[in-house]
Amino acid sequence: MTAIETSKRPELDEGGMGYLQSLPRRVVTVYLPLLIFVIVLLFPFYWMTITAVKPNLEMTDYANFNPFWVVHPTLEHIRYLLFETSYPGWLLNTIIISTAATFLSLLAAVFAAYAIERLRFSGARQVGLAVFLAYLVPPSILFIPLSVMVFNLGLYDTPFALILTYPTFLIPFCTWLLMGYFRSIPFELEECALIDGASRWQILTKIVLPLSVPGLISAGIFAFTLSWNEFIYALTFIQSSENKTVPVGVLTELVRSDVYEWGALMAGALIGSLPVVVLYSFFVEHYVSSMTGAVKE
Amino acid sequence: MAVTSAAVQPRRSTLSRILAFVSESHNALGFGFMLPAAALLLVFLTYPLGLGVWLGFTDARIGRPGIFIGFENYEYLWDDAVFWLSVFNTLLYTISASILKFALGLWLALILNQNLPFKSFFRAIVLLPWVVPTVLSAIAFWWIYDSQFSILSWALMEMGLIDHRINFLGDPENARASVIAANVWRGIPFVAITLLAGLQTIPQSLYEAATLDGASRWQLFRYVTLPLLTPIIAITMTFSVLFTFTDFQLIYVLTRGGPVNATHLMATLSFQRGISGGQLGEGAAIAVAMIPFLLAAILFSYFGLQRRKWQQGGGD
């Protein structure tokens, strides 16, 4: 709830003293820098898109074709990607792995966050701190020992290697986010339910969870995006082409010998980015406000 | 489900009495609720962390469990010029990228905090570089930095600013600048949006009061915005430093550590020696060597949080 308030409140204050600035001054101090920022931040996406639909001839002939535009757009690269490579398989793997890891992490994180924030068992604060510290442990120092473990457990080159290791960075993050969310639900609601004879389980499923649906959605989106983007574990634990995820597959299988197929590479990068961008654009309000909330906490 | 029935049914069997005890004792119930998360984290995070430290003291290779060799890996790394080069590169990469991300991110946050048309639209598209998988945007940068068909070289040549193509990733100095630029590009949105969230918590009335007292725009920023934003800056930059320091993906895609190891970070060197080269023990030792730096960053974050409490009058 705090998150929602924070994102709404500025609308009242907004640009409180903007009228003190003249228009030319605003153009130089606000609009021009903003334009440059937006162009620089979006250019790689434009370049990705335009390359994905550009015929090879135009791609390498800068003398006769302006590289910023495409004269004869083609779907050849996308057709090649979807029908002559294992790309659809990688897409499916990524969807399955991300969904499973997200579901597993959310389930564990809901219980953990509720216990830390509301059950207040002895040592809850220390456990909360430990969860925060767990979030600070980067995959870059875990991938070598994890690869040994994954191999010894017989999980090497299976989706389970990733489904079980992704929660290591998803659970701390989701727990932290949900703790902030649960904190915003008034204690009185739970007390009323307790007096009415509800068990802890009923309180969690009938009161706390329905009220924290927005928090669950944003935690879910964050977790899904993080697992979709994960690279180092997927690169280390997966060997065979048909088990790879999109980021690893695009990088290791589409880049062959000296001839880079830039069109197909860019199409692969574009299609691989689309699901998270679409997911995120549907819930952008949640995203930004929960980030605000997560930072505030 | 079973817990539900325990609370509703008046008649109590032994089982439901146990369940009732568990559901009424905060500690037992808390333990049960923590179990799934704790089990996953202990098995796949805490244990590997310890295993990594242990592996650093062994000569393990892929397919062969190692034996304890004491500090031999570390002694070897101490005399290894490539390792020290990677430490230098990591520090250079982290420090310069973080400073740029902070300066540009704060600037963008201040712009986005203004009263703009299509404000939410701008906020949404600015986050894009952060949402898209790093590897995939890095591939786009790879193509932008292509030695032959770089669009940047072409545009600069068309404008008459340079007379030959820039060798972005082939030359050590250029390669370092290029990977830092790509990292900054990806990091700006995170810094900007979190700082924007911080800016929005500063009451407008403070600015009005300061303006009435005759404060200039710089003074407004220096004496109102900056002090109130410091706690969030501390947290945001700690995260940013942490993730930049342990970066792997961007380097792996763009240069794989080359040319002549000029862009090797500790994480990429650890991968190269540990996984590609099969020397698990040595790779683990390089990863363990990153821990002191990470601890420094975490302590920094801790004291940042302390200061925040103090600023808010000791409350939570």
End-to-end Cα distance, chain B: 35
Q: A2 lies in a domain?
A: no
pLDDT over threshold 50, residue A2: no
Under the banding of pLDDT at 50, 70 and 90, the label for residue A13 is very low
Is the distance from CB of B178 to CB of B168 less than 8 angstroms?
Answer: yes
pLDDT over threshold 90, residue B227: no
Is the distance from CB of B189 to CB of B130 less than 8 angstroms?
Answer: yes
Under the banding of pLDDT at 50, 70 and 90, the label for residue B298 is confident
* Paired tokens of A235: 């690169």
Is the distance from CB of B59 to CB of B67 less than 8 angstroms?
Answer: yes
pLDDT over threshold 80, residue A101: yes
Helix axes B119-126, B172-200, angle to 10 degrees: 140
Q: Is pLDDT larger for residue B76 or for residue B8?
A: B76
* Paired tokens of B273: 């020696």
pLDDT over threshold 50, residue A213: yes
Q: Is pLDDT larger for residue B310 or for residue B91?
A: B91
Q: State how far the Cα of B283 lies from the Cα of A144, in Å rounded to an integer.
A: 7
Q: State how far the Cα of A112 lies from the Cα of B270, in Å rounded to an integer.
A: 33
| Chain-centroid distance, C-alpha A152 | 30
Q: Within 13 Å, how many C-alpha atoms sit on residue A24's CB side?
A: 0
Q: Across residues B82-99, what is the average pLDDT?
A: 93
Domain of A35 in residue numbering reads as: 13-75
pLDDT over threshold 50, residue B304: yes
Q: State how far the Cα of B266 lies from the Cα of B255, in Å rounded to an integer.
A: 14
3-class state of residue B58 by DSSP:
strand
Which residues of chain B have a CB within 8 Å of the CB of A124? 30
Question: Do A66 and A106 have their domain in common?
Answer: no
pLDDT over threshold 50, residue A90: yes
Question: Do A62 and A176 have their domain in common?
Answer: no
Burial pattern B153-178, b for ≥16 Cβ within 10 A else e, equals: beeebeeeeeeebbbbbeeeebbbeb
Q: A7 lies in a domain?
A: no
Least confident of A199-203, A215-219, B140-144, B311-315: B311-315
Query: Ranked by mean pLDDT, which of B79-88, B115-124, B250-259, B301-310 comes out on top?
Result: B79-88
Q: What is the pLDDT of residues A25-79, one digit of tens each?
A: 888 888 899 999 999 999 999 999 988 888 877 777 777 777 788 877 888 888 8
Q: A1 lies in a domain?
A: no
Question: Do A55 and A201 have their domain in common?
Answer: no
The per-residue pLDDT for B11 is 55
Under the banding of pLDDT at 50, 70 and 90, the label for residue A17 is low
Mutate to test the interface with A, among B131, B206, B252, B271 (most CBs of A within 10 A): B131
- For residue A133, give how far its alpha carbon lies from the nearest alpha carbon of chain B (Å): 8
Is the distance from CB of B291 to CB of B56 less than 8 angstroms?
Answer: no
Q: A103 lies in a domain?
A: yes
Which residues of chain B have a CB within 8 Å of the CB of A150? none
B233 contacts: CB under 8 Å, gap ≥ 6:
B102, B106, B195, B198
Q: Does B109 touch chain A (CB under 8 A)?
A: no
Which among A129, A297, A291 is positioned nearest to B231, based on CA atoms?
Answer: A297
Under the banding of pLDDT at 50, 70 and 90, the label for residue A284 is low
Question: Do A124 and A242 have their domain in common?
Answer: yes
| Chain-centroid distance, C-alpha A290 | 13
Q: A44 lies in a domain?
A: yes
3-class state of residue B161 by DSSP:
coil
CA-only gyration radius of chain A, Å = 24
Q: Does B283 touch chain A (CB under 8 A)?
A: yes
> What average pLDDT is seen over chain A?
83
The per-residue pLDDT for A62 is 75
Question: Do A118 and A256 have their domain in common?
Answer: yes
| Chain-centroid distance, C-alpha B290 | 14
Instruction: Verify whether the Cβ–Cβ distance A143 to B275 is below 8 Å.
Output: yes
Under the banding of pLDDT at 50, 70 and 90, the label for residue B149 is confident
The residue from A75, A91, A120 where one domain ends is A75
Least confident of A207-211, A265-269, B158-162: B158-162
Question: Do A209 and A159 have their domain in common?
Answer: yes
CA dihedral B223, B225, B226, B231 (to 10 degrees): 130
3-class state of residue B279 by DSSP:
coil
The enclosing domain of A92 has a CATH number of 1.10.3720.10
- How far is residue A90 from each of residues A165, A188, A253, B284, measured CA to CA in Å? 18, 48, 11, 29
Interface of B with A in 3-42 (CB under 8 A): 3-4, 6-8, 23, 26-27, 29-31, 33-38, 40-41
Q: A4 lies in a domain?
A: no
Which among A216, A149, A136 is positioned nearest to A181, based on CA atoms?
Answer: A216
Q: What is the pLDDT of residues B102-148, one digit of tens each?
A: 999 999 999 988 877 887 788 888 888 988 999 999 999 998 998 88
Element (H, E) at B87: helix B81-112
- For residue A41, give how far its alpha carbon lies from the nearest alpha carbon of chain B (Å): 7
pLDDT over threshold 60, residue B315: no
Q: State how far the Cα of B146 lies from the Cα of A99, in Å rounded to an integer.
A: 35
Domain count, chain A: 2
pLDDT over threshold 60, residue B8: no
Q: Across residues A169-176, what is the average pLDDT?
A: 91
pTM of the model: 0.85
Is the distance from CB of A167 to CB of A175 less than 8 angstroms?
Answer: no
